Amino acid sequence: MAFLDHIRACNTHDLGRFVPLVVAGVRVGWVRRDHLPWLAEWGKVFEVGEDSVWLCPALATPEDRTQAVAEACVGLAERHGAPRLKGEWYRVAAGWNAPVVMNVDRALVSLFGVRAYGIHVNGVVADVPESRQLWIARRAADRAVAPGKLDNMIAGGQPAELGLMENLLKEAAEEADVGPDLARTARPVGAISYCHEDRWGLKPDTMFCFDLSVPVGFAPRNTDGEIEDFRVMEVTEIAALVRDTDAFKFNVNLVLVDFLVRHGYLNPDDEPDYVEIVRGLRQGAADF
């Protein structure tokens, strides 16, 4: 394996299998062609054409659209086995700062191919620069996605109702028992984007990355049952695991590769794929 293999794995998709989802005149997502007959059953919500899907113009407000799409998707779950609602809402817009046209349940993000956002926090042990260390989490065995895989110390999807720092504070408390004073010192270091297909459709994701320096005596403690345990690992060991294995959750590999690039553990003299790696960490930022 190679570092670049993880980037390629996260960006595997065939856009020819999809048609645009248009809301209020703006393309905000993609729907798989074989799901078009499902949506056509809900003519008061979706207008289905050969090359596009539109939300009906009568749904004139974000609130109306949110409610109508959620109700239709309850029916889609009953009739066709589509994902059942989780009660967690993600905003839908043409971009991070674009006007929100509606919210969709987290379970439906890939069904409609809308861009999702999240936060990933590297827990960096302070005062050991000669052998830099990170706190690494192991996901609980009952997680629906990547059970038992290694993960960042703190990570989570971005709910519609919270700002990024509000979400970081919430996830820090739940996942690692990090108090607000320490969590607020997390430093934003960039964003990673990718786009891949899952069993329901297209999943364009953007992960906002942070580095959080934690004291030497600090030990994270999970409070929400999502993490099985934590361990301190040297960056060189992490780099080897990322390069040679699938030990980490698939998208966490990208966050860690970005860390390795930013801190000089990967450099263009020694890494033959360096330019492709740097470019690949942002290739999913294109407006899918």
For residue range 223-257, what is the model confidence (pLDDT) as tens digits? 999 999 999 999 999 999 999 999 999 999 999 99
Domain 116-285 has CATH 3.90.79.10: yes
Closest CA to 249 of 159, 162, 136, 169: 136
pLDDT in tens, 79-125: 999 999 999 999 999 999 999 999 999 999 999 999 999 999 999 99
Beta-carbon-side half-sphere exposure of residue 239 (alpha carbons within 13 Å): 16
pLDDT of 194: 96
Of the candidate CATH numbers 3.30.750.160, 2.40.50.140, 3.40.50.150, 3.30.530.20, the domain formed by 15-112 belongs to 3.30.750.160
pLDDT in tens, 138-196: 999 999 999 999 999 999 999 999 999 999 999 999 999 999 999 999 999 999 999 99
Q: Where are the domains of the chain?
A: 15-112, 116-285
48 to each of 42, 51, 188, 279, how far by Cα in Å?
Answer: 10, 8, 41, 36
Q: What mean pLDDT comes out for the span 214-226?
A: 94
pLDDT of 285: 58
pLDDT of 1: 83
pLDDT in tens, 10-53: 999 999 999 999 999 999 999 999 999 999 999 999 999 999 99
Please report which confidence band the pLDDT of residue 128 belongs to, taking 50, 70 and 90 as the band edges.
Answer: low
pLDDT of 254: 98
Query: Is 248:150 a contact under the CB 8 Å cutoff?
Result: yes
Please report which confidence band the pLDDT of residue 284 belongs to, taking 50, 70 and 90 as the band edges.
Answer: low
